[in-house]
Chains A and B, each alone.
Chain A
Amino acid sequence: MGGRDATMVLLDENGIRCDGRKVDETRRIMIRAGGLKNADGSAYIEFGDNKILVGIFGPRDVHPKHMSNTDTGILRVRYHMEPFSVGERKNPAPSRREIEISKVIKEALEPAVMLEKFPRTAVDVFIEVLQADGGTRCAALTAASVALADAGIPMKDMVAAVAAGKVADTIILDVNNEEDQAGQADMPIGYMPSLDKITLLQLDGVLTPEEYKKCVDVGVKGCKVVYELQKKALKDKYFGNGED
């Protein structure tokens, strides 16, 4: 997607990254719960330069009917990028990448949502990436959890997500677009802090077994930071100023 700049310094001698962050620092994160009028629940997230909107509908009747399950509700997730969200215009039709990410996010949310309470119904999660800058699946998953909570869907926990990775032989938190393109490894992690469960995990890039463990560790710690911001977004909406 982005251009490659061979001269870019990913990590300088003081341990500062190409966008001025320290190795264990996330980008600026702003989460807003609610915002859409017609959706049953919604959220908006700005995660660095990513801008993502999530709307929830349901539990509601399932169409087509044969998709419904008499034992439990079903979760449907559509992750979609706008044609204007990336450098070169993206074909608006869902790509194979978007279909895979939709599935991965769905399976990351399912352990959190108590779907068994709503047999024969569907909860639809619509994710629209308005602007993309690396790490959209994590930002989208984070926002989708907040939106589900905003919709009042019973949940065991929220899923917080952020990527860890390896850049200039160093394990870092929250991989941005440049680091993803030029870096050595990218590991998106979705994690439920209260249940200590990792529900989204992918990796591309080469890691030694030690780096692998460290990467998971750094990512899980990052998720705990994101989790606090998710809770704050909900408190801001429902309790005013972020106080309990």
Chain B
Amino acid sequence: MTSVSVLDELKKAQILELLEQGKRVDGRALDESREIKIETNAIPKANGSARVYLGETEVICGVKIQPDRPFPDTGDRGLFICTAELLPLSHPTVETGPPQPHVIELARVVDRGIRESHMIDVSQLVIEKDKSVIGVFADNVVVDYDGNLFDACSYAATAALLTSTTPKWNWVDDKPTLVEGDETALPISTIPVSITMGKIGNHIVVDPNGDEWASMDARITITSDSDGNICALQKGGSDGFTQDEISQCGEISVRVGAKIREKLKEAQKGSQ
């Protein structure tokens, strides 16, 4: 995905030429996301799951919830861990083996957006203080690639968490013991939405597709919460943004994010 071919150069020229006329290759407005389809409960054996299509990018997220040991300095809080992986079947350039830096970045940025929004109230996920807590693991796998994995993984994880139910454990005989038939929704305090924007020339485009992703000079991912506050951000790519562009991107992320939050809420309702 990072290799540049003659074809990529030609596509970039075409994308830039269209942008000069205020148009995008796939006919979208500059601040318009691709169509988002969310199927919840895609993996019934998980505690919560979602398959998300962002245009032709496809991501599956499964949430597993199980007792775990707390970190030594946070014995009064449960764990939340979100990962992301590119499956070799998602793109011809993806290879097996240890994760590449761009995949590590992807996983960490998706995790950070959800974590920093405090979506999951981890203080309610304690079985026995300092000894046993509930761990929530949201694992994303990318199945098909057409750009903007940051948002696709973030929406998949968020939708999966919104529709997850957690079992209950009691602390009996120094170990967590499952209470049969007592499942509740996760303690959710807000719905984070990540919006990734690409900078191509001097144009800012929301949710770059695969061709735009290969053509962009820089990108920025901004996550906002249900109150319209900004809770995480990551700039990437080999160019910079002016201060005005950074402000503009902040506004776009809150405005476009609000629309996508409604879709996530719909998905949550649909699964109940």
Closest to A110 in B: B238
Scan residues 81-103 of chain A and give those whose CB is less than 8 A from a CB of chain B.
96-97, 99-100, 102-103
Closest to B106 in A: A100
Which B residues touch A244, using CB under 8 A? none
Q: A195-B240, A212-B250 are in contact. Are A202 and B233 (CB under 8 A)?
A: yes
Which B residues touch A212, using CB under 8 A? 230, 250
Which A residues touch B105, using CB under 8 A? 100, 103-104
**A192 interface residue (CB < 8 Å to B):** yes
Question: Is A206 a contact of B225 with CB atoms below 8 Å?
Answer: yes
Scan residues 208-231 of chain A and give those whose CB is less than 8 A from a CB of chain B.
208-209, 212-213, 216-217, 220
Which A residues touch B116, using CB under 8 A? 204-206
Specify the main secondary structure of chain A where it touches its partner: mixed
Q: In the bound complex, what is the Cα–Cα distance between A220 and B245 (angstroms)?
A: 14
Q: In the bound complex, what is the Cα–Cα distance between A94 and B115 (angstroms)?
A: 23
Tell me the smallest distance from the CB of B104 to a CB of chain A, in Å.
Answer: 5
**B243 interface residue (CB < 8 Å to A):** yes
Q: Among B102, B108, B220, B247, point to the contact of A213 (Cβ < 8 A).
A: B247
Question: Is B240 a contact of A96 with CB atoms below 8 Å?
Answer: no
Question: Is A205 a contact of B250 with CB atoms below 8 Å?
Answer: no
Which A residues touch B229, using CB under 8 A? 206-209
Scan residues 4-43 of chain B and give those whose CB is less than 8 A from a CB of chain A.
none
Which A residues touch B234, using CB under 8 A? 104, 201-203
Closest to B109 in A: A100
Specify the main secondary structure of chain B where it touches its partner: mixed
Which B residues touch A198, using CB under 8 A? 235, 240-243, 246
Query: What 0/1 readout, one digit per residue, does chain B (104-119) give for beta carbons within 8 Å of chain A?
Result: 1101100010011110
Tell me the smallest distance from the CB of B23 to a CB of chain A, in Å.
Answer: 26
**B88 interface residue (CB < 8 Å to A):** no
Q: A103-B102, A192-B240, A201-B235 are in contact. Are A207 and B230 (CB under 8 A)?
A: yes
Which A residues touch B107, using CB under 8 A? 96
Question: Is A207 a contact of B236 with CB atoms below 8 Å?
Answer: no
**Chain A CB within 10 A, most for which of B218, B225, B234, B238:** B238
**A196 interface residue (CB < 8 Å to B):** yes
**B63 interface residue (CB < 8 Å to A):** no
Which A residues touch B242, using CB under 8 A? 196-198
Tell me the smallest distance from the CB of A141 to a CB of chain B, in Å.
Answer: 12
Which B residues touch A207, using CB under 8 A? 229-231
**A183 interface residue (CB < 8 Å to B):** no
**B228 interface residue (CB < 8 Å to A):** yes
Which A residues touch B115, using CB under 8 A? 204
22 contacts between A and B (CB under 8 A): A4-B73, A100-B101, A104-B234, A107-B235, A107-B236, A110-B238, A111-B218, A111-B240, A198-B241, A199-B235, A199-B240, A203-B231, A204-B112, A204-B232, A205-B231, A206-B116, A206-B117, A206-B118, A208-B229, A209-B230, A212-B250, A217-B243
Known contacts A99-B101, A206-B117, then 7 further A-B pairs from the complex at CB < 8 Å, ordered by chain A residue? A103-B102, A111-B218, A201-B233, A203-B230, A203-B233, A205-B231, A206-B116
Closest 10 CB pairs of A and B: A197-B240, A203-B233, A199-B240, A110-B238, A201-B235, A204-B116, A206-B231, A103-B101, A212-B230, A111-B240
